[in-house]
Amino acid sequence: MSPPRIIVALDGMEINEALHTARILSGSVWGFKINDLLLEAGISIIPRLRRYGYIFCDTKLHDTPQTVINSVKKLARAGANVISVHASDKDDIKMLVAAVKNRQNSKIVGISNLTSNEKSSSKKLLQSAFNILVSQANGIVCSVSDVKILKKHHEYRHLVIITPGIRPLWWNSSESAGKTDDQKRIATPREAFKAGADFLVLGRPITRSENPLEAVERIKYEILKTQE
């Protein structure tokens, strides 16, 4: 099993700060997750960040199919590699189908249960996975505990799994974790790898580090230790 790739969340960053961080980490991570940055900079930030890695637009689209189509077309045209769409409700399949048909060269992933929620609903998770499977979307965004559930179902094992809420061991014990951590269902890189995640999303453990590049290497070391 190949080690999961790292996606760095550029949440809450100003434009220049995000570009600077991406420049520093270029080549050491798979790419970068953006959300609120799109609201400030617009989709023009996508090609600027693409110089340094792949881009996961975590837009969590949730609207009428036509509105989703409009958004996906523009994000894909701007160069987004991955675009997220809500997938947990039965009717969300219509949005997913619309997104898949208009994704161009982008990948579409479905959002299941947010990792900021205290509890995970296996019913919602499996509904999300079913919607993603039927719509022929590429993958799912879910917690490590949800990954373990999915892996028990053979029909969903081929889905690409993006896992947020990842906290290295050294981050959990550091003061910098603070009271601002809004993730509830968290896991270490080691746990995520063992569960079968393909991509790990990390923000603050890297972006708030005095040395982001060193933080990435420490995370990779945790993953490599898993393979010994």
pLDDT in tens, 67-97: 999 999 999 999 999 999 999 898 999 999 9
Identify the DSSP state of 166: B
Provide the token pair at 141: 């965004």
- Per-residue pLDDT at 219: 96
pLDDT in tens, 166-218: 999 888 645 555 545 555 568 999 999 999 999 999 999 999 999 999 999 99
pLDDT in tens, 107-162: 999 999 765 554 667 888 999 999 999 999 999 999 999 999 999 999 998 999 99
Mean pLDDT over 47-66 rounds to 97
- Per-residue pLDDT at 42: 96
For 5-226, CATH gives 3.20.20.70
- Per-residue pLDDT at 190: 92
- Per-residue pLDDT at 5: 96
Query: How crowded is the C-beta side of 227, counted as CA atoms within 13 Å?
Result: 9
pLDDT in tens, 149-165: 999 999 998 999 999 99
- Per-residue pLDDT at 178: 52
Q: What is the pTM of this model?
A: 0.91
Residue 195 CA to residue 139 CA, distance in Å, equals 16
Q: Which runs of E-coded beta strand occur in 112-169?
A: 139-141, 160-163
Q: What is the length of the chain?
A: 228
Active site residue 60: yes
Do residues 65 and 98 make contact, with C-beta atoms less than 8 angstroms apart? yes
- Per-residue pLDDT at 45: 98
CA angle 8, 125, 187 (to 5 degrees): 40
pLDDT-derived band of residue 225, with 50, 70 and 90 as boundaries? Answer: confident
Residue 33 has pLDDT above 90, yes or no: yes
Q: Catalytic residue, from 60, 73, 94, 220: name it.
A: 60
Residue 217 CA to residue 82 CA, distance in Å, equals 24
Provide the token pair at 139: 């993958």
Instruction: Determine how β-strand 54-61 pairs with β-strand 31-34.
Output: parallel
